[in-house]
Amino acid sequence: MIIVTGAAGFIGSCLIQRLNQDNFNYIIAVDDFSDEQKNKNLDGKKIQERVDREHFFEWLDANYQEVEFCFHIGARTDTTEFNVDIFNKLNLNYSKKIWKKCLDYQIPLVYASSAATYGLGELGYDDNESLIPQLKPLNPYGDSKNDFDIWALKQEEQPFFWAGLKFFNVYGPNEFHKGRMASVIWHTVNQIKNTGEMKLFRSHNEDYKDGEQMRDFIYVKDVVEVCIYLMHHRRNSGIYNLGSGTARTFLDLVKNTFKALDVPENISFIDTPEDIRDKYQYFTEANMSKLQSIGYDKNFTTLEEGVNDYVKNYLVAEKYY
């Protein structure tokens, strides 16, 4: 029996599909299942039981003896939300409770952290745990993820295996429900369909030309491969970066999207909204040596390969993974 929180979401639902491919079908899907569009991510997947997140801990107290592993992927992920109480409830305190239950019941745990913890990257993008208390996230979402990382590292009592994964810019299928928070590829395909062009944010940093702001984009299929690896590995507890290890520009991303659609490039630039301008990251790139040092040796999907697969096989086809 494997628990996946955030099961109906983007990464959680892709993880369940990947688990099903390896014949792990005894899945306990935990989420708030009130969003019917989001629930479509679970259509066709093999799930033993759906458990509302508000009732999850009672369920776990009654069923812990059957649980083999817990993936805590669920969180409030809206970086434009500034109500700290929401993040304290859904990200920080909920995660602490899951940690304590996994400790009490000796359930190995993998949880979702975020590259949002790195802020503007003043200290780089190295998953050195001694630096984590010094990081300065740019918004309450990043704060909530970093606060939990700091808390986890301070715990003298820990689940026998645990890992926090700092997801960088994840893209891929099953994000139809995310709206404004969906990946730039999703927005590009929709803009091209509607207007024939794509508008990117203009650079307001003299070190970067328009469209050459850089991110570490990682395909969701690579993210879930790492999750599967850690489920079997169960050693070397700690916090790990999870990106491709290679920063690419937004222009690279969008040009590859036009190419996958077989549509002529038509790219223009608009000012970055003022409400996010001073908190805008111009560069992120995961140092992936720590994960590789514990034996993870699969190659990450290139941006060209990932965009092509995502656009042609999921977005254009309107299919789920």
The span from the CA of 159 to the CA of 163, in Å, is 10
| 23-53 confidence digits (pLDDT tens) | 999 999 999 999 999 999 999 999 999 999 9
| 257-270 confidence digits (pLDDT tens) | 999 999 999 999 99
Query: Does the annotation flag 238 for ligand binding?
Result: no
Which residue among the candidates 118, 125, 141, 321 is catalytic per the annotation?
141
Query: Does the annotation flag 263 for ligand binding?
Result: no
Three-state secondary structure call for residue 162 = strand
Strands (E), the chain: 2-5, 27-31, 49-52, 69-72, 109-114, 162-167, 169-171, 198-201, 214-215, 217-219, 238-242, 248-249, 267-270
Cα–Cα–Cα angle for 109, 138, 223, nearest 5°?
Answer: 35
The pLDDT of residue 102 is 97
Query: Does the annotation flag 76 for ligand binding?
Result: yes
Query: Does the annotation flag 270 for ligand binding?
Result: no
Question: Quick one: 229 exposed, middle or buried, by C-beta within 10 A (0-12, 13-18, 19+)?
Answer: middle
Spatial contact of 113 and 167, defined as CB atoms under 8 Å apart? yes
The pLDDT of residue 81 is 66
204: tokens are 């307001």
Per DSSP bridges, beta strands 248-249 and 214-215 are antiparallel
Which of 3, 36, 80, 13 minimizes the C-alpha distance to 223? 13
Residue 77 has pLDDT above 70, yes or no: no
Which of 291, 3, 19, 77 minimizes the C-alpha distance to 164? 291
- Mean pLDDT over residues 227-255, rounded? 97
Query: Does the annotation flag 178 for ligand binding?
Result: yes
Q: What is the pTM of this model?
A: 0.95
The span from the CA of 163 to the CA of 291, in Å, is 11
Which residue ranges make up each domain of the chain? 2-172+217-244+285-300
| 95-146 confidence digits (pLDDT tens) | 999 999 999 999 999 999 999 999 999 999 999 999 999 999 988 889 999 9
Residue 136 is among the residues annotated as catalytic for this protein: no
The pLDDT of residue 286 is 98
The helix (run of H) or strand (run of E) holding residue 10 is: helix 10-21
Residue 141 is among the residues annotated as catalytic for this protein: yes
Query: Does the annotation flag 308 for ligand binding?
Result: no
| 170-212 confidence digits (pLDDT tens) | 999 999 998 888 899 999 999 999 999 999 999 999 999 999 9
CATH fold of 2-172+217-244+285-300 = Rossmann fold (3.40.50)
Which residue among the candidates 178, 199, 259, 279 is catalytic per the annotation?
178
End-to-end, the C-alpha distance of the chain in Å comes to: 21
Cα–Cα–Cα angle for 271, 275, 277, nearest 5°?
Answer: 50
Query: Does the annotation flag 38 for ligand binding?
Result: yes
Q: How many CA atoms lie within 13 A of 106 on its CB side?
A: 1
Residue 9 has pLDDT above 90, yes or no: yes
- Mean pLDDT over residues 62-81, rounded? 87
| 266-299 confidence digits (pLDDT tens) | 999 999 988 788 878 899 999 999 999 999 999 9
The span from the CA of 270 to the CA of 272, in Å, is 6
